Amino acid sequence: MLAQKYRVPRQYIDYILKKGESYTSKFFIVRYKPNREGFCRFRIIISKKVDPKAVKRNHLRRQGYEGIRLNLPEVTTSGLDMILIVKKNALKTSYKSIEDDLKNNIINRNHG
């Protein structure tokens, strides 16, 4: 489980979604905005359009947070609030693919 310190507070989510810059990776749409904390904070959002079953959405969310947690020491220097919106194709893939996508396209891209 990702520590509360590394999660984007709920009151900032709408602001980041509206005003933040974005890019896409294989399994995520990423919206981000600089913060003053000195470290990255994350939030994962999964729409009911991805899967109507909450069990599957929660499973994907937990996989995403675990991938971030395991690679967190690499992103402690940059101060970004990042919202990761999960794409539908993430349902049909393995945890290793999700972790690799997080590591290569999201964490390393925003490092330093």
DSSP letters, 28-45, are: EEEEEEE-SSSS-EEEEE
- The CATH code of the domain that includes 60 is 3.30.230.10
Structure token pair of residue 19 = 């005003």
The answer to whether residue 39 is domain-embedded is yes
The answer to whether position 112 is within a domain reads: no
Asked whether residue 111 is assigned to any structural domain, the reply reads: no
Per-residue confidence in pLDDT tens, the chain, 112 aa: 888 888 999 999 999 999 999 988 889 999 999 888 888 889 999 999 999 999 999 999 999 998 888 887 765 567 888 999 999 999 999 999 998 888 887 766 665 4
Phi then psi for 30, rounded to 5 degrees?
A: -110, 125
Residue ranges making up the domain that contains 16: 4-106
